[in-house]
Chains A and B, each alone.
Chain A
Amino acid sequence: MVPTGYVLVLAAVLFLLGLVGVVLRRNVIIVMMSVELMLNGVNMTLIGFARARGEMFGQAFSFMIIALAAAEAAVGLAILVAIFRTRRTVNVDEISLMRH
């Protein structure tokens, strides 16, 4: 059986990878995927803990987070479409009309 610690570390790595992706990638689509990655890290953490505790709460919560991620993606993509319509780009750097 895989020790819980391994699961948690993997989850943390996923979370961090997502974080790095969010901060560094320039393409909005990839940035949003990175957010999903972070959420998956969270899911994995929950599941890891739940398994260690021998209960199902974590899994249940994960489902909720997946639903949540879907909703977020929907809203996010809608906004992205709106942006793309007005300025024909999905580069994060170019979305900086408002500053200072």
Chain B
Amino acid sequence: MSFSLNPADFVHLAPVLFLTVWACLVLLASAIGGGHGRHYGLLAILGLILSGLGVALSWVQHVQPATDLFAGMMVVDRFALFLDMIFIIAGILTALVADAYLEEHRFTEGEFFALLLLSISGMMMMVHAGDLVMFVIGLETMSLAIYALVASWPGQRRSAEAGFKYFLMGAVASAFLLYGIALLYGVTGTTNLAKLAGVINGKAGEPLVLVGMFMILGAMGFKVALVPFHMWTPDAYEGAPTPVTGFMAAAVKAAGFGALLRLVAGLFSADAWTFGSTGWINIFWVLSVLTMTIGNISALRQNNVKRMLAYSSIAHAGYLLIGVVVVGLDPSQMGAVLFYVVAYAVTTLGAFAVVAWIGSRDVERTTLEDWYGVAKHHPAVALAMMLFLFSLGGLPPTAGFFAKFYLFKAALSFDSPQMLTLVLIAIANSVVSMYYYLRPIVAMYFREGASAPKPLTSFSVYWVLGITSALVLILGMAPDATLAWAAQALMGG
């Protein structure tokens, strides 16, 4: 294998590298500056904006075909750039929320933002990966940072426990992933995705390849919280500091699905892998049904809003899996999945921002009782939360509705009874899910609170709420531009 370093590759990689370096700078600054104060958040946001500009520039300047960097280790295509943009926006919004949140709950700030930036750079590596090795590096960079973020609330038992559970399961999942990669390497002799895709086609029946493949998919299922690999999700989401939870639901999920799509639509796209009773489409079909159903019915009676949203995120992973199946059938329908990812990310960030907003002074007010009467004292926030919940439930005119509609449209464009069944199951799930999405609304609007909540007062949270609710409405009512971008974000394109 010849290996030559093309200096131009670094230009393409600049946003990722920049972010990594910036993370280190933030860390350094916090080490020097003592770790407290508002400027770290702003610093992180500045870095994200700069990186985002780079990504945008890359998108505009992008010429096809996709660029392979470092001898195929990484690839720059619009698919990855689109996801990059999601990560960065999610990062900015999370940083804004965290800024207020951390100040209120008084824990270390500099490291937090450094970890945030690091995890974003990991995600970017992950979706840019052209090689399984790169993929692992990105995944681990992201995961390790997130483990730390989850457990970053000092003195909070729940935070540490959540971090531990997430870490341990993540480590095992990583081991599975690595073992799967090792097996694939053993059979094919390469870990480059493009090369693998060529070689692996003829080896569908090989036990080692199959085991490897499904170990990798299992590990990815863990990352995006598919049933039955989902069990860490509620605990980790509940225990993590709320901005981190939002970030996990939005960005980590997006990264996971991005990577999953890379794998299924890139690596395992051969017919023999895809179709038939043992192809991954069938398996994902079943997983999709299981994931959305179990996610939804588990959320039904949750009195903890954060945990309920965690289950809801599982359910949404199930819906997204419909998109994965669709992309498996027709890669040009990628736009449907990506739009859904965007819509879900924006909505869930907003929802978790509200959850973060309402708690104060080391207390996260996450039970429904805590939410009683919010609408009376804070009508605007209640309205925004209602918007997010309706978006999650898929009521127009919100982003969630349009995303769901677009996804179902993509699924139904195959006149296949199986897809119709899947959509109908998703429909039934939507109805069930509406029940628990309405419960916080009931608490906020229909109940009288014993005492007025004392939420965060920092203006940055309100910025986030404003931005996310505006985005939810824009994506729901004027989705044209986003649709066009999502439609262009084809893999290798």
Q: Which of A18, A38, A41 has the most CB of B within 10 A?
A: A38
- Interface size counted on chain A using CB atoms at 8 A: 43
Contact status B175-A79, CB under 8 Å: no
Q: Dominant SS at the B interface?
A: helix
Given A22-B168, A46-B182, A76-B168: A61 touches B133 (CB 8 Å cut-off): yes
Contact indicator per residue, chain B 6-27, by CB within 8 Å of chain A (1) or not (0): 0000000000000000000000
Contact status B186-A42, CB under 8 Å: no
Contact status B161-A45, CB under 8 Å: no
Contact status B133-A75, CB under 8 Å: no
- Closest B residue to A40 by beta carbon equals B175
- In the complex, what residues of B have CB within 8 A of residue A8's CB? 186
Contact status A82-B178, CB under 8 Å: no
Contact status A82-B175, CB under 8 Å: no
- In the complex, what residues of A have CB within 8 A of residue B182's CB? 42, 45-46, 49, 58, 61
Among the listed B154, B162, B175, B189, which residue makes an inter-chain contact with A15, where contact means beta carbons less than 8 Å apart? B175
Contact status B238-A45, CB under 8 Å: no
Given A45-B179, A68-B136, A71-B140: A80 touches B172 (CB 8 Å cut-off): no
- In the complex, what residues of A have CB within 8 A of residue B165's CB? 95
- In the complex, what residues of A have CB within 8 A of residue B307's CB? 98
A72 within 8 A of B: yes
B164 within 8 A of A: yes
Contact status B175-A95, CB under 8 Å: no
Contact indicator per residue, chain A 6-50, by CB within 8 Å of chain B (1) or not (0): 001000000100110010000010011001001101100110110
Docked complex Cα distance between A97 and B151 (Å): 14
- Interface size counted on chain B using CB atoms at 8 A: 40
Given A72-B144, A75-B167: A98 touches B234 (CB 8 Å cut-off): yes
Contact status A80-B133, CB under 8 Å: no
B163 within 8 A of A: yes
Contact status A79-B186, CB under 8 Å: no
- Closest B residue to A52 by beta carbon equals B186
- Closest A residue to B166 by beta carbon equals A79
B393 within 8 A of A: no
Contact status B144-A79, CB under 8 Å: no
- In the complex, what residues of B have CB within 8 A of residue A85's CB? 155, 160
Docked complex Cα distance between A22 and B289 (Å): 29
29 intermolecular pairs with C-beta atoms under 8 Å apart: A22-B172, A28-B164, A32-B168, A39-B175, A41-B179, A42-B178, A45-B186, A46-B185, A48-B186, A55-B189, A58-B185, A61-B185, A64-B136, A71-B144, A75-B144, A75-B148, A79-B147, A79-B151, A79-B163, A79-B164, A82-B159, A83-B161, A83-B164, A85-B155, A86-B160, A95-B164, A97-B239, A98-B235, A98-B238
Listed in ascending order, the chain A residues whose CB lies under 8 Å from chain B are 8, 15, 18-19, 22, 28, 31-32, 35, 38-39, 41-42, 45-46, 48-49, 52-53, 55, 57-58, 61, 64-65, 68, 71-72, 75-76, 78-80, 82-83, 85-87, 95-99
Listed in ascending order, the chain B residues whose CB lies under 8 Å from chain A are 1, 133, 136-137, 140, 144, 147-148, 151, 154-165, 167-168, 171-172, 174-175, 178-179, 182-183, 185-186, 189, 191, 234-235, 238-239, 307
Which 5 pairs from chain A and chain B are nearest by CB? Answer: A49-B186, A38-B175, A82-B160, A45-B182, A42-B178
